[in-house]
Structure 1
Amino acid sequence: MAPSTDPSQWTYTDYACFLNSHGFHNLNTLNEYLQWGLQAKMSPNVRQPEFSRTMLLEFNKGSTRLSDLSDLNKLRLLLREWTRTSKEPSSPGSGQPSGRIIMVDNAAPALIDTLGGLLNIDPSFFANHIGEGGAEPCTVQGPRDQVTIDYQTAFVPVNCPKEVEGMTLSSKSNYYRRVEVIPKQPRQKVAVVRRKISIWLRSSRTQQATDPWLAVVLVDPPLSNFAAGPTSFSSTGPPQSFSVLPYQGGYVDFVEMRKPQSMQQNDYRECAHNVQYSVGNTFDELLRHWQIQARDGLFSPPLTLKPADVGAPALATIARPCLQLAAAETSNTLTFLSNILTSSSPASICTQHPIPNTTTLQRALSRTIFVDALLTTMKTSLSQTKEFACMSTAPNEHIAATYRTLLSSLHAHRSTTDATFSHLTALLTSTHTQALDRIATTSNTSRSHLSLLAVLALVYVPLSLACLIFALPSQLLPSRHYIYGFLPAAVGVALLFLLFGVRQLRQGLIRIKDRLAGGLTRKKVLAGEKFKVHRETGEKVWVNRQPTSTTEFGAGPYVTGGGPIGEEVRVAQTGTLSTPGRPSLRREQSSSSGRGSSKVRAKAKTRERKREAWDEV
């Protein structure tokens, strides 16, 4: 739908459509997503957006108040109240909170239109979260207002058929997340899906010093199932879907709220794991984390600060639990990929199969190639997240060290993948060579056996015929003299079959024929070989064979053979051997001096004496 000609009447959807049509191609996915929301609102036949869960967290002096804002009208009313221009600045002691976080799970197009239009959020924030590709790299050196944390999660599909390995899979929600099933798994199939957490912090430049800070957090819905089919927003999902289970317990759940030694050393990953939340509910996990942070005073300003100096916390402070969750899932996925590489290594394969076949090696090679491609994809997102954790205004050294360790572990896995790929390729090449050698040996053995059987059969045919003749009854004695004529014929036929049917004997016949023909084989005749025969001695001399050094022949008592009668070989005075129908062969001129030149002169004298001797004869 084209936007209105009056920009003041534009909605956030119109604004994103305008930017996309004027060169901002990174907003293509967001534009399609918002247009799908408009189509679903006007037509019930189009796939309708799913429910978006929205929660408001308000922080004030170590306490947190939770409010459900899933009602879109209520959310619009509050956002207009918070963003309206106030002439009288509010004081910190007026009872309003110091900051707010709006958490959105499975954001619908209408909710994105509301948040982006009322809070004036950059469309690239929503485009990075909804799109399949990674977030744009960080180019701003300094404070940032938004970040997208991209990571991978491993899970085990339940009752997943073998045919889904080559299909396009995606998780089922308002927007799609591509699912990659690791191919050629020996026992239980395992898949990997991309997950994202996007955080936007309202800049202090757009608000007064005493206004509460505001953050918007977008998280992906729990991964309950995935399906195969098209990834268009408006298309209805296929009827076949597959349930999932997390790998090794899935998400690290944080139930305990233990008091840390200090607010800067609190690592939320050390909390106990609850089996109840084993599906990966990011929404509930982050709610619990930020309540712990608010209780520890990370979101409350110190009492010593003046009201004019109070501002929003750093983006890294709000994103700390998100970074820790992403690090836990990335570590979990890398551990699983390490197990895949270990099971695909040649040593492990040779341990399980003392004589590995080609199928086993090819399956291991397919898994290795998939893991290498997955590690390459993870490297980009992990590097960007590590860069954000290290370059933020309030960096956490523990989180930065964790991401450095994860990145070094990823590089180690990639080197292991390269080594495994090289070993498997060499092993496959050796296996193929051995298989071809075995096939050739078997073929030669079978051919030899067949030749032996043919020889035995052809040898015993005349003997069998003779035995048959001599075994005739006495009444047929007069006819023996007529049947005796079949014996020489049978022997002759057997010899012909032996000579022309058995390969070894056939090669011997070819050599004998070449010997009788004086070396003039069919190949040489087709190549145009010619020779001279002495009239008295009958000696043959080839005249157009490619020599190592040019030989000169003069006119003499020779008859030209191997070519048309009357052809003669003439030697020019310049030492060039010319033959009709063939290019001239020039004698190689030696530029050497000393001992080398004396050898050349001696050879020339020898050739001259030979020519004179032939002329005398």
Structure 2
Amino acid sequence: MARSYSSYIVAQSKRTPCLQNVCQFISDDCRKHDCKIVSLEFFAQDEKPRRTDLDQLNLEALLNTDVCGCQGRLIIVEDLSTAVIETLGSCLDIDPLFFASQIHGPTFDIVSSKPSDAILPSRALSQNFLSVQYQRTVDFGACSSAPRKMLRNSNVPRKIVLLPPIKNRSIGLEQQSCSILLSTTKSKPWLGLILVDKPNSDKYTTSEKQLVLPSTPFQGGYEDFSERPCFFEPDSGSPGRVSLLEDLVYYWEKERPPAFQPDQPTLLSLTYYPLKIAAAEWVSYVAVISHSIKQFEYSTEATFEEHGLRKIDSDLRSLEVWGRRCLQTSSKLQSAISFLKYQINGAPELEEYSLMIRDFEYIADLVTTYGRRLEIMVPVVTSVLQITDTRRSLKEAANVTRLTYLALLFVPLSFVASLFSMNGGVSAHDLTIYFAVALPLCAMVFFVTRLPTFDFVPLGPAFGKFGNWMRKAL
């Protein structure tokens, strides 16, 4: 009986515990979406690769078939499924860590760890694959009813978080992952494999229900990093910025990466376009951080209303979350920088990749700078919250003081009324006497309550003590 690749993964999970997410993914064999698979075949006589659209049924046949004159293949798989994992793993003898790096959980799990956290850099750099993880920014427009956290409707779960509204627009941060592998088998031709996520759709799920929320790429999507077309030549189009698979096919058909050898490529050349797209997406992410920082700037006029306190409390929570995001972003950027430096290893002919290192370092410096600004804002927002709460308490104390004065007004009036009620009848002359006695007495009571608690120097210490005694007596 032939051994299945799924059983191989389960056996390897005992040696490598971070494969638990792949085991869970395989056991939950209820994927509702079919994978989209594209094969790019490279021929010596063709400048552009030949595209072939596949499905799960003819993928295995393609892997076991050699085309005459084909120098190599690049297979791009969108929205990975259990059947495709079984086919690719059994035909190419792929390290299960490659699939585990792509199928990382959408949320933090205390039971199992991510491969990026569990694998040491020395082992990660020596592998024949790279996993690129980044955040894609999505604009939901003026959407006020959407929950803060959602999952995309796809085989591989991906989390999307909605930020607090920025200028009446809801911006979402969407998890994205792209894994690139160069097969180390001795079979000819060479074979490269790229796993990408499903393109954006309007369908999202929560713990309670499914939602349909129209969305567009933030600020039109990432900037096209290819060379500007000449004015006198026809325009070759632009990437769609919706499907990562189609964007990769667009760039591969437009121009081959630097230092790419069609007969024997390197892993570095296969990761060129995924890393360039990830860097462009990180630039949009940094722009979102910059706009979010402006939301946490306060004027000297503090608000006392209840909704103002709730906003300040929400901003404090958002600052803490942004600080954690910046740390995670810096870690992902440093991982890409380490990979590029290890693969280049001082080769002078790889100038384009050296420039890519500078791009990632520039983005990492921006994230670090914004992270420090966010960290500085935490005590500022905390102080604003304390000052606002203190001023609201003082305002409430002032209201209590007014009520105390109002109650104090009726003390002499009630006293005089009780004194005059000892007589049987009340005439107009009695009312005149009542107000003549009550009003000066009220003035005297308010005067005594306003006396300072310390000795009144101009009138001598005895008068100050008398005022204190009268206040206690009343």
TM-score by length of 2: 0.78
Distance 1:112 1:13, change over 3 A: same
Q: Is the 8 A contact 1:253 1:285 kept in 2?
A: no
Q: Secondary structure at the match of 1:454?
A: helix
Given that 1:144 and 1:315 are in contact with CA atoms closer than 8 Å, whether structure 2 keeps it comes out as: no
Is the aligned partner of 1:164 residue 2:147?
yes
Shift of 1:294: 3.3
CA contact (8 A) 1:181 1:190 kept: yes
Q: Contact conserved, 1:58 with 1:97, CA < 8 A, in 2?
A: yes
Is residue 2:178 matched to residue 1:197?
yes
1:326-385 alpha-carbon deviations (Å, 9 max, x no partner): 001011011111111012122xx5589799942342333233233223222222212211
* Number of residue-to-residue matches in the alignment: 424
Counterpart of 1:130, as a letter, is I
Q: CA deviation at 1:109?
A: 1.1
- 1:152-202 Cα shifts (integer Å, max 9, x gaps): 01112257444612xx41111111101111136561211101101100101
Q: 1:385 to 1:173 in 2, by over 3 A?
A: same
Q: Which whole-Å CA distance do the structure 2 matches of 1:398 and 1:366 have between them?
A: 37
Give SS of 1:298's match.
Answer: coil
Per-residue displacement from partner, 1:546-599 (whole Å, max 9, x unpaired)?
xxxxxxxxxxxxxxxxxxxxxxxxxxxxxxxxxxxxxxxxxxxxxxxxxxxxxx
What's the counterpart of residue 284 of structure 1? 246
CA-to-partner distance for each residue in 1:363-408, whole Å, 9 max, x for gaps? Answer: 3323323322322222221221121122213651110000000111
Choose the corresponding residue for 2:286, options 334, 341, 347: 334
Partner of 1:24: 16
- Assess, with a 3 A threshold, how the Cα gap between structure 1 residues 240 and 95 changes in structure 2: closer, same or farther: closer
Q: How far 1:503 sits from its partner (Å)?
A: 13
AA partner of residue 123 (structure 1)? P
- Secondary structure of the corresponding residue to residue 288 of structure 1: helix
Partners of 2:302 and 2:272 in 1: how far apart?
44
Matches within 5 A, 1:433-452: 433-452=390-409
Find the partner of 1:298 among 239, 245, 260. 260
Whether contact under 8 Å (1:57, 1:64) holds in the other structure is no
Instruction: Choose from 208, 217, 221 the match for 2:194.
Output: 217
1:8-407 residue pairs with structure 2 within 5 A?
A: 9-20=2-13, 22-37=14-29, 40=30, 48-61=31-44, 62-81=46-65, 95-132=68-105, 133=114, 135=116, 136=119, 138-140=121-123, 144-157=127-140, 160-162=143-145, 164-165=147-148, 168-183=149-164, 185=166, 187-203=168-184, 206-207=185-186, 211-230=188-207, 238-252=209-223, 258=229, 274=238, 277-278=240-241, 280-294=242-256, 298-300=260-262, 312-346=264-298, 349=299, 357-393=308-344, 396-407=353-364
The aligned amino acid for 2:93 is N
Distance across 2 between alignment mates of 1:407 and 1:272: 32
Equivalent residues of 1:154, 1:333 under 8 A apart: yes
Query: Mean alpha-carbon deviation: is it higher for 175-184 or for 357-366?
Result: 357-366
Q: 3-state DSSP class of the match of 2:198? A: coil
- CA drift of 1:415 comes to 0.5
* Other-structure match for 1:596: none
SS of the residue 2:134 aligns to: strand
C-alpha separation in 2, matches of 1:370 and 1:343 = 14
Question: Is the Cα contact below 8 Å between 2:144 and 2:170 reproduced in 1?
Answer: no
- Tell me, in whole angstroms, the C-alpha distance in 1 between the residues paired with 2:178 and 2:103: 10
Distance 2:115 2:134 in 1: 10
How far residue 228 of structure 1 moved from its aligned partner, in angstroms, is 3.3
Q: CA deviation at 1:471?
A: 5.6
- The one-letter code matched in structure 2 to 1:81 is T
Instruction: Report the Cα distance in structure 1 between the residues aligned to 2:380 and 2:236, rounded to whole angstroms.
Output: 42
Instruction: Note the C-alpha offset of 1:426.
Output: 1.1
Closer, same or farther in 2 for the Cα pair 1:406/1:297, shift >3 Å? closer
Alignment correspondent of 2:461? none
Instruction: Kindly provide the amino acid, as one letter, of the partner of residue 17 in structure 1.
Output: V
SS at match of 1:340: helix
- The change in CA–CA distance for 1:321 and 1:382 in structure 2 (over 3 A counts) is same
In the aligned structure 2, how far is the partner of 1:272 from the partner of 1:507? 91
How far off is 1:14 after superposition?
Answer: 1.4
CA-to-partner distance for each residue in 1:384-437, whole Å, 9 max, x for gaps? 112112221365111000000011101001111011112111111112122222
Verify the 8 A CA contact 1:63 1:295 in the aligned structure 2: no
Offset from partner CA, 1:55-107 (integer Å, 9 cap, x none): 1111123523434342333221221235xxxxxxxxxxx95222210111112
Contact 1:149 1:196 in 2 (8 A): yes
Residues 182 and 193 of structure 2 are in contact (CA less than 8 Å); yes or no, is this contact kept in structure 1?
A: yes
Aligned to 1:565: none
- Larger Rg, first or second structure (1 or 2): 1
After superposing the two structures, state which structure 1 stretch, 175-184 or 503-512, moved more.
503-512
Could you say which residue in structure 2 is the equivalent of 1:308?
none
Following TM superposition, by how much is the alpha carbon of 1:456 offset from its aligned partner in structure 2, in angstroms?
2.8
Q: Which has the higher contact order (CA 8 A, sep 6+)?
A: 2
SS of equivalent to 1:194: strand
Q: Give me the whole-angstrom Cα distance separating, in 2, the residues matched to 1:418 and 1:272.
A: 45
Conserved in 1, the CA contact under 8 Å of 2:9 and 2:23?
yes
- Give yes or no for contact 2:260–2:266 (8 Å, CA) kept in 1: no
What SS does the aligned partner of 2:256 have?
Answer: helix
Is 1:458 the counterpart of 2:415? The answer is yes
Distance 1:180 1:151 in 2: 14
Query: 1:418–1:141: structure 2 CA closer, same or farther, 3 Å change rule?
Result: closer
How far, CA to CA, are the matches of 1:29 and 1:142 in structure 2?
Answer: 22
**Aligned partners of 1:195 and 1:363: how far apart in 2?**
27
